[in-house]
Amino acid sequence: MSEEQLPPRVDIIILTWNGLEDTIECLESLKSIDYPEYRITLVDNGSTDGTGETIRERFPEVNYIYSDTNLRFAGGNNLALSKTLDESFDFALLLNNDTVVEPDFLTRMVETALSDSAAGLVGAKIYYYDHPDTIWFAGGKANIKIARMRHRGIGEIDDGRFDEPCECTFLNGACLLIRCELLREIGLLDEDFFLYGEDLDFCLRAIKSGYKLYYQPQARIKHKVSRSTPALKKLQFRYRSWLLLMKKHTALCWRPLQYLNLLGEFFPLVIGFIRRKIIFAHKK
């Protein structure tokens, strides 16, 4: 950004549900960012752990929004995004409450977005919180026609191989900068996705509308990758999401290949889950 140009306004949207300790750590890390024009909006999805009282007392500058029901990822973020669009913001940043950010992460992301007017979405390099030298996300690749999506670099020590900015076909919703112009054109997140797949669907819609997705490796955060959802539930939610993604974004002629690929991905996981249950049952 040039000195003459006013920095774009960014609404940082954080979603929480009974995650007070993580949320506090995330908000504390945001106090150190070097980007000048931002607001923090915290959407509370019906927490019962004292989140509201604590946030209002310790972080009075935060725009706190309470929902008395759990609207999940898409619904909760949409509650905030709709308000973002009603105000004079240029970008919205979706940020998981279980993340910790580097001071310059937002500056790097906004600079990337400003470098190309077609940049609708920008993603960060995301590390495991417990293993901060190990990558969880370094840009993503998705091929909806064959029901495939993957994180680049996942589980690998950061040795510099993923240090170049690049275009992607998928960006993770844990840290996602969105141009408000894009939101006005393609709409908000699809609330038909119960859990998983909302970000991929949004990326596919952005690409279809002619926008580009960029990965910016100099924007760095750490993520406490969720282990709260039971393994079998995760499989169910992911399978359901893939079925919805296929229905929305591909023709029927691709279904046989998609189902084969899904079976190849999920069948070994289900068998592994059943085997572990049997082994643990015998040990009792």
Same domain, 114 and 239: no
Q: Is residue 2 a part of any domain in this protein?
A: no
Written as six digits, the tokens of 128 are 């495991």
Give which of 121, 269, 274 is closest to 201, Cα–Cα: 121
Q: Do 78 and 16 belong together in one domain?
A: yes
pLDDT 10s digits, 209-254: 999 999 999 999 999 986 545 555 666 777 788 788 888 888 788 7
Read off the pLDDT of residues 44-81 as tens digits, 9 standing for 90 and up: 999 999 999 999 999 999 999 999 999 999 999 999 99
Whole-angstrom CA distances from 80 to 10, 38, 63, 68, 256 are 13, 14, 10, 14, 39
Q: Are residues 96 and 217 in the same domain?
A: yes
Residue range of the domain that includes 237: 231-283
- What is the spatial distance between Cα 168 and Cα 119, in angstroms, rounded to a whole number? 11
Tokens of 225: 């990758």
- 32 and 120 share a domain? yes
The domain tally of the chain equals: 2
My answer on whether 21 and 62 are in the same domain is yes
CB 215 within 8 A of CB 168: yes
